[in-house]
Amino acid sequence: MPAYWLEAFVVALGLLLLMMEAFGNPASKELIRRVALGGLIFVLVPFYFAVAPSEDNAELARFYAYDNWAIFFKLLALLSTILVLFMSYDYRGVLNQFTEDPGSEHGTGEYYALPVFACAGMMWMASAQDLVSIFVALELVTITFYILVAYMRRQVGSLEAGVKYLILGALSTGFLVYGIAWIYGMTQTTNLEQIALQLSSTLDNPLASNPSGLLFGLALLVLALAFKVGAVPMHVWIPDVYQGAPTPTTALLSVGSKAAGFIVALRILEPFFASEITRGQTTMIILILACATILLGNMAAIPQVNFKRLLAYSSIAHAGFVLLAIAAWHPGSEKSLSTPQVVSLYLATYLIITLGAFFVLVVIRGSGETEEISAFDGLAQRNPLLALCTTILLAALAGLPLTAGFFGKFFAFQVAITSAATTKMLWWGVGIGFIGVAAGFYYYLKVVRAIYWAPPRDESPLVLPRVSRLAILGLTALTLLFGFWPNPILWMIGG
Amino acid sequence: MTLFLVLLPLLGVVTILLGSDPRRTARITSALMLLSGLSLAGLWALGVRDGLSIAPVVLSTPEIRLGLGFYDGMSVVMVLLSVLVAFAAARSGECEDRHARLWNISILLIAAGAVGAFLSTDLFFFYAFHELALIPTFLMIGILGRGDRKQIAWKATIYLAFGSIVLLAGLLWLVSASGSSTLAFDDLLDSSIPVEAQRGIALFLIVGFGTLVSLFPFHSWAAPAYASAPAPVTMLHAGVLKKFGLYGLLRLYPAVPAGMHAWLDILVILLIGNILWVGFVTINQRRLDGMLGNSSVMHMGYLFLAFAALVEAGSELANPIAKPAAVLLMFGHGITIAMLFGLTDRIERRTGTLELRELGGLASKAPSLAFLFGLAAMASIGLPGLANFAGEVMVFLSGFRGWDPGEPLGGVQIATIIALWGLVISAVYMLRAYRRIFHGTEVPFTATAADLNQSERGPAILLAFTLVAVGLFPNLLLKLIENPEDRAAMEQRTIAASISAASPASPGTESPTTDNQ
């Protein structure tokens, strides 16, 4: 079975869900939630039988890659969407408050159908290897998110977030198209393999003598991708949108959408890093972005008092560490992982930990009216188990060893230090990265401090809903497991 | 088999989480750890090597293994120290019932982290286990500490996190400069790293490990933290966990001998700071817990002195007593300080105060407490016949090793002479405190104090027995440290290093290793 059937199936599932919303019971969306979840979980089965599209189908094979990266990032997209749908299960109380007929499920059906479309888009992005198909898949994801972010239409914060996301999203789309046009103008192709071929030789190559047009196009593409992954200077939307959007949407933005952005970044940047013509400048651009992103993400996170905003800045900071690994492009050897492997490993561990943290946030939000860090005060007395899991997840976000979060940072630094032997300027990235990690300890542990040291404002025990309980326990267990045995992730990315 | 030693406390944690009685579980677990630690060390001393260590691969590129086993005699001694102190710590201090789970889980986690770090034969787990032990330490200070506990815990967290990150940077640099495809000590220590890189790595290691061992001027977190933390945590941290830093320096030293040599002068100045500066700070302490905390920082200076002697000589062959001296003193100091802090907690529970001028005449009320505290205090000063004396004498000898009476005194020799005066400082504050607390007339605070009961006496007697046994027969440990197999392996390594250093491929590599051949 050719792999693109997977995306076709997911899109069909989404259409089916929209039909169910239009013609089904308006008062209960239970069935839609279940079908969406069941359908996505079912897709994992044909995943096993999927193969690359055959060479006969040349017109499609040109657009569609099915390699280790594609498999891994498709899986990442699927898993994050499935977990986010689980998350919306316990979030439905909050969601229902701010849609029409507050308190009822009227008009909330699309909220469970749209993530399926976003998932299809992210899965296609994992395979796209032509600038045009990248653009189409990216827009599918982005447009879906315009709706999801503003979904709580009776809440000003959500609407404001939607508008901000829309404006900056449109701007970055503009950059993307403009960049594609420049690249096409310089290379006469939009296919990444062809571009790689053109960049591979320096002899008699007009691009080698004057690469400035190409680099300009690349800079525009990098800007557009920086919007997707939340890197400086296109990060300004992140804190407000993360804070305003419904929490499951924030989680999907922060994990799925970001991961999809990074796979596209890897695919687009690979030919530019491989080529003698552009390697130096590409490294420079990405390194500057990485340093700025790490610094800004970590420093701005320090004074935050809202946990969701804290996670937003933390997500910027993590994007910075991934960018550092990309800037230190390394093809891999027996001594160290390649950059795509490091990025994959980082994002896989990041998915587990961040979704765990968002599940915790949903529970906290469900038990009170606020998402401030002070809502965690005295959590250790209200629910010791949740307090322990939250501590482990936060420690993992900070990158403490024996949690999964350590390995991502460990390898990002390792690949940077390895490449720094030849590209001296990477030492700047390493130095700034360590400052960022140190700052990270401070602001993540600030929450741990609230959990254990602050007296609770509300003495009543906090009851964990069943779905969240399972998810938080499972994700925490995985965080610990991958903390001392990361090899399974490496098997998946073919290491 | 050594895996068992790490799994035991973790199993204990799980059973407590599942609902077993926290106190009993922690006590039983620590007793089992002591038994298995002793028997594993015994097997090792008898020459058994097979089956003691494991190293399953947890990551294939670069190869990281869950390597656990006795890397050399130093590991054995440190593991023995850990299980002894963990046994005593699980039986020290008292907590309210509602904190019993947190309290005992923390003790077991710290013990697991310490044992794991000393058993690791792979750099990754060596680092990771130490971090594992730090987190419960912070939580315990922050939740159950005394005084301004949040501020103190926060300060310790910031300092130790800073140390850990600097250390991590150094370790990563070490791995990448060594060109090794694994993180196993065997490969890292065999590699030849260019001198330029060695210098940078050594600086990171000194600052990183130094902060963890409270090297002057990175020491100011330690004394308040020890004064504030609950007794078992202080015992485990001051007695065992803090030694991780020095253990790490000694362990990784063979990879960067020339780099360390570049910082020798600064190291010597800093360790004198530990001994003199902190020594005078200690004399001025008015509370017993603050005094003990500072004295433990001060004594780290002696350990660094042994390390400096090793660095000056350039290899373990050129100064064969420096490393055993450091290990022996680490062991002695760990047992002593754990005993002192454990008994201090007993004093506070009896009298309700630790202000030195409010105490007096406790000896007549609690003779066995007075005797055991006195024994530990004497050991801390360095009375012959107790473990610390053997360690300190060896440290001072190692400082003058290789020095010819004809030459002028070098930095390490001057530091050694100053360190001898440090003994006087220790004697002043220890004896003064002892007199204030136990001698003189009874005061209201001590009037109703009772002597140690059976269960309180047990752990202290075990530690006291260890101090005397090692003090009278230091060879018990020295034989472990100076294992003939190690020696052969070490010679091999040194020869290999000197060959690579002398090869024309690395001109200008003035490795001190070759100078002393």
The residues spanned by each domain of chain A are 278-495
Choose among B60, B66, B162: nearest Cβ to A490. Answer: B60
Model confidence over A447-481: pLDDT tens digits? 988 888 888 887 788 888 888 999 999 999 999 99
pLDDT of residue B495: 62
Q: How close is the nearest chain A Cα to the Cα of B270, in Å?
A: 25
**Number of folded domains that form chain B:** 1
| Chosen from A330, A394, A402 to mutate, greatest number of chain B CBs within 10 A | A402
Within a domain: B192: no
Whether the pLDDT of residue B139 is over 70: the answer is yes
Chain B residue with minimal CA distance to A391?
Answer: B135
Q: Which residue has the higher pLDDT, B350 or A258?
A: A258
> Does B209 contact A at CB distance below 8 Å?
no
Taking all residues of chain B, what is their mean pLDDT, rounded to a whole number? 85
| Chosen from A341, A344, A443, A485 to mutate, greatest number of chain B CBs within 10 A | A485
Q: Cβ of A421 and B57 within 8 Å? A: no
Chain A residue with minimal CA distance to B60?
Answer: A487
Mean pLDDT of B189-194: 84
Q: Which residues of B touch A400 (CB under 8 A)?
A: 131, 135
Give me the residues paired with residue A191 across strands: A130
Query: What six digits make up the tokens of A103?
Result: 């308190």
Q: Cβ of B173 and A417 within 8 Å? A: yes
Bin B508: left if φ > 0, else alpha if -120 < ψ < 50, else beta: left
Q: How far apart are CA A393 and CA A356, in angstroms?
A: 7
Q: SS3 of B57, please? A: strand
Residue B500's pLDDT band (cuts 50, 70, 90): low
Whether the pLDDT of residue B404 is over 80: the answer is no
pLDDT of residue B202: 92
pLDDT of residue A380: 85
Mean pLDDT of B472-500: 69
Cα-Cα end-to-end distance for chain A: 25
B 273-332 residues with CB below 8 A of A? Answer: none
Q: Cβ of B172 and A417 within 8 Å? A: yes
Contact B228, B145 (CB under 8 A): yes
Query: What six digits make up the tokens of A372?
Result: 């401030």
Whether the pLDDT of residue B105 is over 80: the answer is yes
Whether the pLDDT of residue A225 is over 90: the answer is yes
pLDDT of residue B510: 43
Model confidence over B299-333: pLDDT tens digits? 999 999 999 998 988 887 778 888 888 999 999 99
Q: SS3 of A306, please? A: strand
pLDDT of residue B20: 84
Choose among A395, A400, A495: nearest Cβ to B61. Answer: A495
Model confidence over B418-439: pLDDT tens digits? 888 888 999 999 999 998 888 8
pLDDT of residue A477: 94
A 373-432 residues with CB below 8 A of B? Answer: 380, 384, 395, 400-402, 406-407, 410, 413-414, 417-418, 421, 430
| Chosen from B59, B65, B155 to mutate, greatest number of chain A CBs within 10 A | B59
Q: How far apart are CA B464 and CA B470, in angstroms?
A: 10
Choose among B58, B66, B176: nearest Cβ to A414. Answer: B176
Q: Which residues of A touch B129 (CB under 8 A)?
A: 402
Model confidence over A339-396: pLDDT tens digits? 999 999 999 999 999 999 999 999 988 887 788 898 898 888 888 889 989 999 999 9
C-alpha R_g of chain B: 22
Model confidence over B220-239: pLDDT tens digits? 888 889 988 898 999 999 99
Q: How close is the nearest chain A Cα to the Cα of B444, in Å?
A: 35
Within a domain: B115: no
For B300, the domain range is 263-482
pLDDT of residue A204: 76
The yes/no answer to whether this complex scores an ipTM above 0.90 is no
Within a domain: B431: yes
Within a domain: B447: yes
Q: How close is the nearest chain A Cα to the Cα of B364, in Å?
A: 41
Angle at B366 between CA B365 and CA B367, to 5 degrees: 110
Query: What six digits make up the tokens of A392?
Result: 């482990």
Within a domain: B357: yes
Within a domain: B514: no
Q: Cβ of B131 and A401 within 8 Å? A: yes
**Helix, strand, coil percentages, rounded to 5, for chain A:** 75, 0, 20
Torsion sign across C-alpha atoms B173, B174, B177, B183: negative
Q: Which of the residue ranges B88-92, B119-123, B388-392, B442-446 would you say has the lowest mean pLDDT?
A: B442-446
The 8-class DSSP code of residue B54 comes to B
Which residues are within 8 A (CB) of A56 and not within 5 positions of it... i.e. 6 or more apart? none
> Does A15 contact B at CB distance below 8 Å?
no
Q: How far apart are CA A167 and CA A106, in angstroms?
A: 28
> Does A473 contact B at CB distance below 8 Å?
no
Q: How far is CA A277 from CA A196, A203, A210, A263, A273, in A?
A: 11, 11, 9, 23, 9
